[in-house]
């Protein structure tokens, strides 16, 4: 029996996602059920019933509590002395217990054996070591159950896009997805980068009529608006070309920039000719996009000059004094000769970044429900599209209204405006959000995510998070920009708990989870949200009268109409006063349900084929309603940003939003596809990277001092999930102990003392055991996650770099906000455009831009280098040299300097030139420390001070 046949025989049709547990505790023993069909090892291709040991195809059992699937014979071999004496699935747990025990013994010995000669040095070191052990425990506990998942897209297609009795035409029964793309400043986020992201979305492999793309322009710039219009025009050529020839990736800049054989796996004779035509058209498209700023400026200058002439003519006709200066507003003009309602470069009233009207423009209208095929190639059609569906998804430009005196809540406010607008215009039950520089690299990514949302138990999933992958990073990844340890180790581990955290982009949400509802079949409800009374009220407010099609599952609960009328008065407090928005909520809930036979409860699911219906066309009334919900005052006295939508009050609104969902009992999924689902860019410059880490760490400090602290989580959040979120709020505080610990080796060398009174055998053995257990744990994580040793080491280095620079600044800023109410603002991270010259691809890496964040690491490096010289000189010229203390201090100083090596290299620039500020600080620190040392410990031999003798 083939693989799909085996799945259907065991579970029935439609189970399309799979889970394997790759180490640590067994998730099944903690209440997690393996509920998916495609459970297998990606490396070994094992079926669910086979032993996971290489070379063995015997029937697997679960003989150990860790849940590792292994046959009896292999298990007995592993337990023997030849096999190591333990189960293969328990390695990580064993190592964690060993390291925990080693840490306990080490700290116990350190506390019981103080250094009487330098109690201050001993006390500081022990305090730091205790905190490091605690933070390590917080980091390791959530890693007990790492998970890998796979999907079967063929089952998804058979289940939702094949003809059946209720859907004889085989129209797509997949739910709709609204894609959000956010941008704020076309100067820092080049329009060409945003345009390529939009094109990759429009060309994604998902039913066209079920897809809608919304671009949020929080800057209200005409440049972004006209760039999107150009993008919509070019998409009429690019999207059919991608569909016809199965182009990957569907970002034209990346596709045409590939240095591989583009003829591979392309058998159509017309491919080369059409590719050449589309490439030429794309080059012209880039020229048009890049020339838009100048075009807008020249057009506006011409219109403004014309307006000035008209004003002067009118002044003459009125008999005014021509010598008097005439003030004419310098506006920004659209191509149709009207004023742009958004922001102007002159920042006039009603036309500045914080004061402009709301704008909505549908660049591409909703497509027809039936395929539309093109025509043969001619002067207007670059490709032969007679066999290609040329429909395009709906594309909408949105710029929310902004007025002085309102807190617009930055990106979170923009995302909530998109939630409301999309609910009225398309109302997809699922939402994908992307940054403007994160494009869809795998055209099947949306289908991969929907496999989990539509699988058994998928109605309890609030979001599916994809890992972030980056391009344009230097090959050595000097500043750990790939973040592989977080995305491939920590996030996989969280997936075995209640789910991974939301990291801001590349995430598919369930719309009703964003609305603040609790998951279905919850043991308790939180307030009015999620209650049956509220669901009944929404059913009453819905547009469609047929309860079988849109009714929320209320379990037979009925309420008196008078009670419902009273409750209806509370509806605007939650969602605002838009009746269209309120009516869209039960529709979105219904369309996001599982199929009835998958759910197992007919009254809870939706029948097959119920979504294979055409979408209603947009009309003027709908667009007007969408405009009203993006007004700056719409959220006043509502739950938006408090419980509904993206949560306000933190610079890391993504983590807080995901935390709130997990706290209500939802779970999330981590979807790692074989081919990267999304790719983006990351700042490779040292200063930009430090400021990025500063923003993240500051958000974590805000979370710790807020009600979103995991210590206050509800009973619905699992214990280890709570530990994971607690670690998110606590990790910046480790920087205070880390800075002290980085200075300890220098203080030891300056004073001639050490953290222990003597380097005896017990101390060295315990230190070696702690270090070896850490290395073994790292190697195990490297093995099951698939990262490299280089990635792990780069993460360790930047952990110290960030911990001595950005993290302490974040703690200070967070405390200032909590104690003094000082608001925190961050500049938008610039997105670099694709370079034309390959030699300049990493030019930004070598740019040295001074930042106050660089001061602590520079100070640490200088002091440790000076301390090594001072300690070595003292020991060499001492009549009784203490080599053990010197070696101990030099070893730890060398450990600090090795971790700071990428930081020091970043200060050198491309050709080794050191910034002047480094020389200045080096000289000042050297002189200060030398004078301080002379005063504290003057030279011995009867001299009371320095004496200089000249010949």
Question: Looking at residues 736-764, what average pLDDT do you find?
Answer: 88
Q: What is the pLDDT of residues 758-791, one digit of tens each?
A: 778 888 888 888 888 888 888 888 888 888 888 9
Lowest-confidence segment of 64-68, 485-489, 725-729, 860-864 by average pLDDT: 64-68
> Quick one: tokens of 763?
């101390």
Three-state SS for 476-533 is: CCCCCCCCHHHHHHHHHHHHCCCCCCCCCCCEEEEHHHHCCCCCCCCCCCCCCCCCHH
d(CA 73, CA 58): 9
Q: What is the pLDDT of residues 301-338, one digit of tens each?
A: 999 888 888 888 887 777 766 666 777 788 899 999 99
- For residue 176, the Cα-to-chain-centroid distance in whole angstroms is 23
SS3 433: strand
Whether omega before 249 lies within 30 degrees of 0, making that bond cis, reads yes
d(CA 495, CA 19): 10
Predicted pLDDT at 412: 93
Residue spans of beta strands (DSSP E) within 195-315: 211-217
**Backbone phi, psi, residue 535, to 5°:** -65, -40
Residue 648 vs residue 836, higher pLDDT: 648
pLDDT at 260 over 60: yes
Question: Looking at residues 181-189, what average pLDDT do you find?
Answer: 91
435 is in an annotated binding site: yes
The confidence band for 95, taking pLDDT boundaries of 50, 70 and 90, is confident
**∠ CA(238), CA(242), CA(247), 5° rounding?**
130
573 is in an annotated binding site: no
Selecting among 654, 688, 791, 844, the annotated active-site residue is: 654
pLDDT at 913 over 60: no
Sheet (strand 678-681) strand order: 439-440, 678-681, 469-471
d(CA 889, CA 887): 6
Predicted pLDDT at 31: 27
Predicted pLDDT at 922: 61
Give the residues across from 640 on adjacent strands.
644
Is the CB of residue 886 less than 8 Å from the CB of residue 911? Answer: no
Predicted pLDDT at 321: 67
Residue 230 vs residue 841, higher pLDDT: 230
218 is in an annotated binding site: yes
The number of beta carbons lying within 10 Å of the beta carbon of residue 354 is: 14
- The alpha-helical segments, DSSP class H, found in 592-685 are 596-599, 620-628, 653-663
> Quick one: tokens of 548?
């079988």
Three-state SS for 301-359 is: HHHHHHHHHHHHHHHHHCCCCCCCCCCCCCCCECCCCCECCCCCCCCCCCEECCEECCE
- The Cα-based distances of 745 to 753, 771, 799 in angstroms read 10, 18, 19
**∠ CA(266), CA(270), CA(276), 5° rounding?**
90
Portion of the chain with pLDDT greater than 70, in percent = 78
185 is in an annotated binding site: no
Is the CB of residue 240 less than 8 Å from the CB of residue 182? Answer: no
pLDDT at 950 over 60: no
Question: Looking at residues 252-276, what average pLDDT do you find?
Answer: 85
d(CA 538, CA 550): 10
Is the CB of residue 593 less than 8 Å from the CB of residue 459? Answer: yes
The confidence band for 69, taking pLDDT boundaries of 50, 70 and 90, is low
> Quick one: tokens of 634?
């719409």
pLDDT at 273 over 60: yes
What's the CATH class of domain 433-539+571-597+605-682?
Answer: alpha beta
Residue 569 vs residue 187, higher pLDDT: 187
Q: What is the CA radius of gyration of the chain?
A: 31
To the query of whether residue 218 is one of the catalytic residues in this protein, the response is yes
Find, among 463, 878, 949, the residue nearest to 661 by Cα.
463
410 is in an annotated binding site: yes
Q: Where in the chain is the domain with CATH 3.90.550?
A: 433-539+571-597+605-682
Is the CB of residue 672 less than 8 Å from the CB of residue 492? Answer: yes
> Quick one: tokens of 804?
């001595």
2 is in an annotated binding site: no
pLDDT at 566 over 60: no
Predicted pLDDT at 628: 94
Predicted pLDDT at 824: 65
Question: Looking at residues 662-669, what average pLDDT do you find?
Answer: 94
pLDDT at 582 over 70: yes
pLDDT at 82 over 60: no
Selecting among 217, 218, 459, 791, the annotated active-site residue is: 218
Predicted pLDDT at 210: 94
Is the CB of residue 199 less than 8 Å from the CB of residue 252? Answer: yes
The number of beta carbons lying within 10 Å of the beta carbon of residue 741 is: 24
pLDDT at 528 over 70: no
Residue 411 vs residue 17, higher pLDDT: 411
Predicted pLDDT at 61: 66
**∠ CA(214), CA(216), CA(222), 5° rounding?**
110
426 is in an annotated binding site: no
The confidence band for 830, taking pLDDT boundaries of 50, 70 and 90, is low
Helix (DSSP H) and strand (DSSP E) numbers for the chain: 33, 15
To the query of whether residue 152 is one of the catalytic residues in this protein, the response is no
Is the CB of residue 49 less than 8 Å from the CB of residue 60? Answer: yes
């Amino acid at each position: 029996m083939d693989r799909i046949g085996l799945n259907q025989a065991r579970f029935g049709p439609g189970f399309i996602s799979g889970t394997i547990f790759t180490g640590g505790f067994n998730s099944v023993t903690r209440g997690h059920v393996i509920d998916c069909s495609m459970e297998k090892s990606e490396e070994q291709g094992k079926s669910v019933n086979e032993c996971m040991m290489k070379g063995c195809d015997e029937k697997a059992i679960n003989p150990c509590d860790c849940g590792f699937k292994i046959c009896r014979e292999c298990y007995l071999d592993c337990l023997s002395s030849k096999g190591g004496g333990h189960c293969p699935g328990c390695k990580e747990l064993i190592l964690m217990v060993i390291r925990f025990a080693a840490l306990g013994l080490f700290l116990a010995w350190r506390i019981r054996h103080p250094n009487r000669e330098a109690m201050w040095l001993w006390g500081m070191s022990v305090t730091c070591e205790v905190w490091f052990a605690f933070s390590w425990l917080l980091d390791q506990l959530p890693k007990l159950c790492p998970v890998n998942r796979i999907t079967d897209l063929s089952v998804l297609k058979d289940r939702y896009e094949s003809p059946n009795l209720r859907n004889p035409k085989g129209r797509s029964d997949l739910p709709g997805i609204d894609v959000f793309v956010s941008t704020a400043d076309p100067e820092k986020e080049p329009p060409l980068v945003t345009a390529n992201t939009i094109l990759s979305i429009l060309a994604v492999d998902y039913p066209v009529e079920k897809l809608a793309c919304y671009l949020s322009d929080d800057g209200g710039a005409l440049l972004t608006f006209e760039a999107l219009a150009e993008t919509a025009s070019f998409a009429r050529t690019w999207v059919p070309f991608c569909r016809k020839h199965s182009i990957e990736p569907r970002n034209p800049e990346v596709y045409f920039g590939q240095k591989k054989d583009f003829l591979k796996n392309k058998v159509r004779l017309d491919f080369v000719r059409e590719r050449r035509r589309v490439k030429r058209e794309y080059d012209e498209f880039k020229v048009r996009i890049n020339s838009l700023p100048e075009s807008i400026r020249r057009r506006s200058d011409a219109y403004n000059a014309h307006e000035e002439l008209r004003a002067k003519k009118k002044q003459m006709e009125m008999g005014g004094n021509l010598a008097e200066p005439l003030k004419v507003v310098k506006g920004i003009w659209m191509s149709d000769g009207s004023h742009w309602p958004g922001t102007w470069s002159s920042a006039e009233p009603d036309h500045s970044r914080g004061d402009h009207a709301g704008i909505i423009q549908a660049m591409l209208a909703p497509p027809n429900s039936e395929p539309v095929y093109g025509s043969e190639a001619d002067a207007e059609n670059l490709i032969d599209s007679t066999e290609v569906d040329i429909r395009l998804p709906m594309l909408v430009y949105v710029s929310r209204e902004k007025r002085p005196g309102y807190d617009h809540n930055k990106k979170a406010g923009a995302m909530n405006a998109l939630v409301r607008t999309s609910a009225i215009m398309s109302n997809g039950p699922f939402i994908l959000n992307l940054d403007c520089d994160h494009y869809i690299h795998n055209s099947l990514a949306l289908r991969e995510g929907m496999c989990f949302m539509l699988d058994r138990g998928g109605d309890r999933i609030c979001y599916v998070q994809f890992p972030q992958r980056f391009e344009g990073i230097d090959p050595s990844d000097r500043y750990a920009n790939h973040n592989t340890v977080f995305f491939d180790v920590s996030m996989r581990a969280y997936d075995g708990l209640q789910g991974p955290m939301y990291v801001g982009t590349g995430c598919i949400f369930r719309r009703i989870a964003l609305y603040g509802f609790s998951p279905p079949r919850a043991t308790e409800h939180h307030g009015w949200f999620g209650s049956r009374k509220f669901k009944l009220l929404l059913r009453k407010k819905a547009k469609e009268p047929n309860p079988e099609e849109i009714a929320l599952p209320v379990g037979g609960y009925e309420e008196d109409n008078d009670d419902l009328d009273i409750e209806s008065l509370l509806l605007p407090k939650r969602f605002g006063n838009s009746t269209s928005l309120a009516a869209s909520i039960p529709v979105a809930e219904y369309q996001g349900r599982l199929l009835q036979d998958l759910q197992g409860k007919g009254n809870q699911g939706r029948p097959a084929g119920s979504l294979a219906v055409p979408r209603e066309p947009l009309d003027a009334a709908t667009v007007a309603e969408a405009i009203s919900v993006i007004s700056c005052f719409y959220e006043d006295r509502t739950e938006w940003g408090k419980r509904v939508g993206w949560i306000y009050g933190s610079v890391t609104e993504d983590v807080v939003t995901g935390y709130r969902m997990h706290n209500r009992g939802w779970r999330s999924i981590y979807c790692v596809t074989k081919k990267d689902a999304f790719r983006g860019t990351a700042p490779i410059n040292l200063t930009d990277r430090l400021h990025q880490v500063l923003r993240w760490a500051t958000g974590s400090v805000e979370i710790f001092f807020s009600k979103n602290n995991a210590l206050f989580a509800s009973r619905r959040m699992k214990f280890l999930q709570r530990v994971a979120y607690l670690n998110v709020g606590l990790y910046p505080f480790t920087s205070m102990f880390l800075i002290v610990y980085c200075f300890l080796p220098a203080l030891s060398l300056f004073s001639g003392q050490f953290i222990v009174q003597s380097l005896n055998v017990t101390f060295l053995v315990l230190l070696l055991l702690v270090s070896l257990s850490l290395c073994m744990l790292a190697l195990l994580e490297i093995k099951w996650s698939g990262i490299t040793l280089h990635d792990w080491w780069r993460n360790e280095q930047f952990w110290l770099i960030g911990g001595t620079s950005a993290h302490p600044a974040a703690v200070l800023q967070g405390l200032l906000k909590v104690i003094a109410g000082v608001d925190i603002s961050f500049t938008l991270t610039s997105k670099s455009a694709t370079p034309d010259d390959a030699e300049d691809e990493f030019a930004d890496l070598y740019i040295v831009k001074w930042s106050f964040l660089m001061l602590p690491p520079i100070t640490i490096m200088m002091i440790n280098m000076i301390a090594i010289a001072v300690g070595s000189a003292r020991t060499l010229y001492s009549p009784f040299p203490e080599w053990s203390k010197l070696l101990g201090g030099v070893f730890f100083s060398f450990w600090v300097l090795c971790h700071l090596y990428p930081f020091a290299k970043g200060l050198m620039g491309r050709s080794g030139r050191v910034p002047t500020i480094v020389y200045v600080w080096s000289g000042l620190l050297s002189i200060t420390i030398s004078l301080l040392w002379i005063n504290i410990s003057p030279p011995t031999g009867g001299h009371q001070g320095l004496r200089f003798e000249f010949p």
